[in-house]
Amino acid sequence: QQQVKQSPQSLIVQKGGISIINCAYENTAFDYFPWYQQFPGKGPALLIAIRPDVSEKKEGRFTISFNKSAKQFSLHIMDSQPGDSATYFCAASFTGGNQFYFGTGTSLTVIP
């Protein structure tokens, strides 16, 4: 059973465009939602994270939008650059839990 569902599986965006990746979850006990970025041959690296007490968090060109009632959260990459081309994973966890539940990943390609 996939605890966190991620879409799309792959995404192609023109340089300068906005990349949007969506995730949905079922477990209302989740209270921490990170996004990880993974380049080929490397392990994932934390990009940005949000807790459900806020609806949006922005760090540079990266923004998480969080909709608690819909149990959805999304990553927006503004002014997408070729260097952003990577696989992005959303994840969820809850306080006191040991596990992080990861989405299946989105392969982003930014075309120059």
Partner 1 sequence: GAGVSQSPSNKVTEKGKDVELRCDPISGHTALYWYRQRLGQGLEFLIYFQGNSAPDKSGLPSDRFSAERTGESVSTLTIQRTQQEDSAVYLCASSDWGQGRRVRRNEQFFGPGTRLTVL
12 binds partner 1 (CB under 8 A): no
35 binds partner 1 (CB under 8 A): no
Secondary structure of 19-81 in HEC code, one letter for each residue: EEEEEEECCCCCCEEEEEEECCCCCCEEEEEECCCCCEEEECCEEEEEECCCCEEEEEECCCC
| Nearest distance from C-beta of residue 6 to partner 1, angstroms | 7
40 binds partner 1 (CB under 8 A): no
46 binds partner 1 (CB under 8 A): yes
98 binds partner 1 (CB under 8 A): yes
Size of the site for partner 1 (CB under 8 A): 23
